[in-house]
């Protein structure tokens, strides 16, 4: 089994916000790959889950899509519960989709492992799993500029960002599909293209990290 996790915050007030692009990718992926007879999400592992079977290079494999229904900085509990239950190995069975203010809208980055980069959701997953060795897809949402970071990531995309992020969401869906069928190296080779001229300067981890609990 493979586990695809989209990070976000639960609740209608966070729907379609910058911090919830991970939820959006998992929702789109599920709509395209889950049979109608299995399309009702279940509540498991402190989250919302759907299961399906996907074609792979070696045949087929069961996949679970998971949206943790705890706030972002507690996402690790949900992910750890699912991995333990199915005895999955993070390095080969886990793929996490998350927003990144250090990347411009319209771009995505696939990595097989790495640091949290100051992202509270990834930091909590790393803490709960005891490892950062798991694949992740970062979706650029632009740097906040003069807007307070928490307000920015919990806000909705500006009209000038909407077309760009729509493209990135579609790329992320395709990247997830490639990872499921062919692995992280194939996904990296296909989707890690050069950045657009809009790419922001890299931010220090201290500049990217959102406030800890309570809140997103």
Q: Which residues are known catalytic residues?
A: 19
Q: Whole-angstrom Cα distance, residue 111 to residue 73?
A: 21
Q: Whole-angstrom Cα distance, residue 136 to residue 75?
A: 14
Q: Whole-angstrom Cα distance, residue 72 to residue 87?
A: 24
Q: In this structure, are residues 25 and 117 in contact, taking their beta carbons and an 8 Å threshold?
A: no
162 Cβ partners below 8 Å, 6+ apart?
none
Q: In this structure, are residues 34 and 54 in contact, taking their beta carbons and an 8 Å threshold?
A: no
> Strands 94-100 and 2-6: what pairing?
parallel
Q: Whole-angstrom Cα distance, residue 17 to residue 206?
A: 22
Q: In this structure, are residues 82 and 119 in contact, taking their beta carbons and an 8 Å threshold?
A: no
């Amino acid at each position: 089994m493979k586990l695809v996790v989209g990070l976000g915050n639960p609740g209608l007030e966070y729907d379609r916000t910058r911090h919830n692009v991970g939820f959006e990718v998992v929702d789109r992926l599920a709509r395209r790959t889950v049979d109608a007879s299995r399309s009702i999400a279940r509540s498991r592992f402190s989250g919302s889950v759907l299961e399906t079977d996907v074609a792979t290079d070696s045949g087929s494999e069961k996949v679970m899509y998971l949206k943790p229904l705890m706030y972002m900085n507690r996402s690790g509990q949900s992910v750890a519960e699912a991995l333990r239950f199915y005895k999955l190995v993070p390095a080969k069975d886990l793929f996490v989709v998350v927003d990144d203010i250090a990347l411009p809208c319209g771009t995505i980055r696939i990595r097989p492992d790495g640091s949290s980069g100051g992202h509270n959701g990834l930091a909590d997953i790393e803490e709960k799993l005891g490892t950062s060795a798991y694949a992740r897809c970062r979706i650029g949402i632009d740097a906040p500029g003069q807007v307070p970071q928490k307000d920015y990531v919990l806000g909705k995309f500006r009209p000038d960002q909407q077309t760009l992020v729509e493209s990135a969401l579609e790329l992320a869906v395709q990247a997830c599909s490639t990872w499921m069928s062919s692995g992280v190296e194939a996904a990296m080779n296909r989707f890690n293209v050069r950045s657009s001229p809009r790419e922001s300067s890299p931010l220090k981890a201290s500049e990217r990290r959102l406030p800890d609990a309570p809140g997103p």
